[in-house]
């Protein structure tokens, strides 16, 4: 039996997306990215002097990401502050973005990216990465490319794109379930990949193909948001 999605989406269909840059005037760059009911806002500050000083790198600037889920972002209030999950996602976000950044000309400096999840309905790390990539470009940070992130899952034998929270919970309970967030450049270079569970090489290739197609769609939305902001300024 093929898996029927509760919201009526096709197996390889994204949730409705909206994106906008320049949403926080005081930041050097900012963006909001919404996928279904998941909303992420990213604000970029810098390049500015790295503090604490012992973390300064005289050979290049550093990217520092801080991912945070607002206490009101889920139905049951989350205790505010850093936790194990947010620390992990902050690191992963840095690794996903770092390969496209060109920070060689900013020794001893840091580029701070603050990602806040205003509303969470699964896929928050991907939404955060998408918002952060747009905010970095909006801040004028030199980049080789932008990155785009999406999550795909496997429920037994069925592959599904961009899970929402309902599906994510259902998948986690199902046997052989897997959720795979992937981040890539528009030309298909993968900068981030997380696999929690088991998957065959064949299905993995199918997942990557599905994610690649989806990332192309998301990339167009990111690009349009950046272009719109330039046109608004003129
Ligand atoms: P992602 O948000 O990237 O999908 P997870 O798989 O860790 O990452 O989380 C899945 C979803 O579970 C989140 O998007 C959110 O909707 C929900 N969630 C995560 N942590 C909590 C929490 N502490 N309380 C309530 N819901 C949470």
pLDDT in tens, 62-108: 999 999 999 999 999 999 999 999 999 999 999 999 999 999 999 99
What architecture does CATH give domain 17-233?
2-Layer Sandwich (3.30)
Neighbouring residues of 28: CB distance < 8 A, sequence distance ≥ 6: 44, 45, 46, 139, 140
- Would the CA dihedral through 195, 206, 132, 146 be positive or negative? positive
Identify the band that residue 111 occupies on the pLDDT scale cut at 50, 70 and 90.
Answer: very high
Give the whole-angstrom CA distance, residue 183 versus residue 181.
7
Q: In this predicted structure, what is the pLDDT of residue 174?
A: 62
Residue among 39, 120, 165, 183 whose CB has most ligand 1 atoms within 8 A, to mutate:
120
- The closest-lying atom of ligand 1 relative to the alpha carbon of residue 121 is 16
User: What is the Å distance from ligand 1's center to 169 Cα?
Assistant: 9
pLDDT in tens, 171-218: 766 666 788 999 999 999 999 999 988 889 999 999 999 999 999 999
User: What is the Å distance from ligand 1's center to 191 Cα?
Assistant: 22
pTM of the model: 0.96
Structure tokens at 140: 């004028």
User: What is the Å distance from ligand 1's center to 89 Cα?
Assistant: 11
* Number of C-beta neighbours around residue 209 at 10 A: 14
Residue among 168, 181, 183, 195 whose CB has most ligand 1 atoms within 8 A, to mutate:
168
- Residue among 100, 24, 11 at smallest CA distance from 63: 100
Backbone torsions φ then ψ of 223, nearest 5 degrees: -65, -45
Structure tokens at 61: 């600037």
Give the whole-angstrom CA distance, residue 13 versus residue 11.
6
Residue among 35, 128, 165 whose CB has most ligand 1 atoms within 8 A, to mutate:
165
- The closest-lying atom of ligand 1 relative to the alpha carbon of residue 123 is 4
Each domain of the chain, given as residue ranges in start order, spans: 17-233
Residues with CB under 6 A from ligand 1: 74, 76, 78, 85, 120-125, 165, 168
- The closest-lying atom of ligand 1 relative to the alpha carbon of residue 127 is 3
- The closest-lying atom of ligand 1 relative to the alpha carbon of residue 83 is 23
């Amino acid at each position: 039996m093929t898996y029927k999605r509760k919201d009526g989406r096709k197996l390889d269909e994204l949730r409705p997306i909206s994106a906008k840059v320049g949403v926080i005037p005081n930041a050097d760059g900012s963006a909001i990215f919404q996928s279904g009911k998941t909303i992420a806002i990213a604000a970029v500050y810098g390049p500015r002097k790295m503090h604490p000083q012992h973390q300064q790198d005289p050979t290049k600037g550093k990217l520092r990401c801080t991912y945070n889920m607002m206490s009101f972002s889920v139905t049951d209030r989350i205790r505010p502050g850093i936790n194990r999950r947010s620390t992990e996602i902050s690191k992963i976000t840095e690794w996903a973005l770092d390969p496209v950044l060109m920070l060689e000309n900013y020794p001893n400096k840091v580029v701070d990216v603050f990602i806040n999840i205003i509303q969470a309905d699964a896929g928050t790390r991907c939404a955060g990465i998408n918002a952060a990539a747009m905010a970095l470009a909006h801040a004028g940070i030199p980049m080789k490319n932008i990155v785009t992130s999406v999550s795909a899952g496997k429920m037994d034998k069925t592959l599904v794109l961009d899970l929402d929270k309902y599906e994510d919970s259902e998948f986690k309970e199902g046997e052989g379930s897997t959720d795979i967030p992937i981040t890539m450049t528009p030309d298909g270079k993968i900068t981030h990949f997380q696999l929690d569970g088991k998957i065959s090489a064949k299905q993995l290739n199918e997942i990557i193909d599905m994610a690649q197609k989806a990332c192309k769609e998301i990339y167009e939305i990111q690009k349009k948001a950046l272009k719109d902001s330039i046109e608004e300024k003129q």
